[in-house]
Chains A and B, each alone.
Chain A
Amino acid sequence: MGTERVQCRWQTGFMATGGSVTEGSVTEGSAPAVRDVVETVTAFARTLRYSGVHASPDRVQAMIRAVGKLDVLDPSHVYWSGRLTLCASQDDVQRYDAAFSAYFSAEAPRQVQTSGQPRRKVASSASLGINNSEGQDSAEDAPDLAAAASGEEILRHRDIGQLSPEEREQLQRLFALLAPNPPLRRSRRRTPAAQGSVHVARTVRRALHNGGELVALSRRKARQRPRRVVALLDVSGSMSPYADALLRFAHALTRAHQGSTEVFTVGTRLTRVTREMRLRDPDKALAASGAAIPDWSGGTRLGEVLKAFLDRWGQRGVARGAVVILASDGWERGDPDLLAEQMSRLHRLAHRVIWVNPHKGRNGYEPLTRGMAAALPYVDSFVSGHSLAAFEVLAKEIADA
Chain B
Amino acid sequence: MLGDVTSWSSPGEVREALEGTGYLADEGIATAAFLALAMGRPLFTEGEAGVGKTALATALAQATERPLYRLQCYEGLEASQALYDWDFPRQMLHLRAAEAAGLTDDPDKLEASLYDRRFLVARPLLQALEDSPSVLLIDEIDRADDEFEAFLLEMLSDFTISIPEIGTIRADIPPLVVLTSNRTREVHDALKRRCLYHWLDHPTYEREVAILRTRLPQITEQLAADVARATGKLRQADLLKPPGVAEAMDWATALHVLGAREIDPERAAITLGAVLKYREDADRIKTLGLSALLGS
Contacts and interface: CB of A to CB of B under 8 A. Distances in A.
Interface string A306-322: 00000100011110100
Interface string B167-197: 0000000000000001111100100110011
Nearest to B80: A201
A56 interface: yes
Interface stretch (A39-47, A161-169, A202-210, A357-365): A202-210
B146 interface: yes
Given A84-B197, A320-B184, A207 B31 contact: no
A188 B76 contact: yes
A85 to B, nearest CB: 6
A62 B34 CA distance: 14
A66 B185 contact: no
A129 interface: no
A333 B80 CA distance: 53
A318 B185 contact: yes
B152 interface: no
Nearest to A3: B27
Nearest to B76: A188
Interface in B174-229: 182-186, 189, 192-193, 196-199
Nearest to B27: A76
Contacts of A219: none
Interface in A92-107: 92-93
Given A317-B142, A317-B184, A81 B31 contact: yes
A315 B185 contact: no
B163 interface: no
A213 B80 CA distance: 24
Contacts of B192: 88
Nearest to A228: B185
A18 interface: no
Interface in A47-95: 54, 56, 58-59, 62, 65-66, 69-71, 76-77, 80-81, 83-85, 87-90, 92-93
Contact of A212 (B74, B80, B96): B96
B11 to A, nearest CB: 7
Interface string B228-248: 000000000000110000000
A136 to B, nearest CB: 46
A188 B78 CA distance: 10
A244 to B, nearest CB: 26
Given A69-B39, A76-B27, A211-B95, A85 B196 contact: yes
B92 A318 contact: no
Nearest to A316: B184
Contacts of B28: 80, 83
Looking at chain A's contact residues, is the secondary structure mostly helix, strand, loop, or mixed? helix
Nearest to B143: A317
A318 B184 contact: yes
A92 B193 CA distance: 13
Contacts of B91: 204, 208
Given A201-B88, A318-B185, A93 B199 contact: yes
B32 interface: yes
B282 interface: no
B89 interface: yes
Interface in A106-125: none
A22 interface: no
Nearest to A312: B183
A224 B90 CA distance: 32
A123 B186 CA distance: 31
A381 to B, nearest CB: 25
Interface in B131-180: 142, 145-146
A77 B32 CA distance: 10
B90 to A, nearest CB: 10
A211 B74 CA distance: 36
19 contacts: A62-B39, A69-B38, A70-B10, A76-B27, A80-B31, A85-B196, A87-B197, A87-B199, A88-B193, A89-B199, A187-B76, A188-B76, A189-B76, A189-B145, A204-B92, A207-B92, A208-B91, A208-B92, A315-B240
Given A84-B32, A274-B186, 12 more contacts: A65-B39, A69-B38, A80-B31, A88-B193, A88-B197, A90-B46, A188-B75, A200-B88, A204-B89, A211-B99, A317-B183, A317-B185
In the A-B complex, the 4 residue pairs with the smallest Cβ-Cβ separation, listed nearest first, are A317-B184, A188-B76, A204-B88, A80-B31
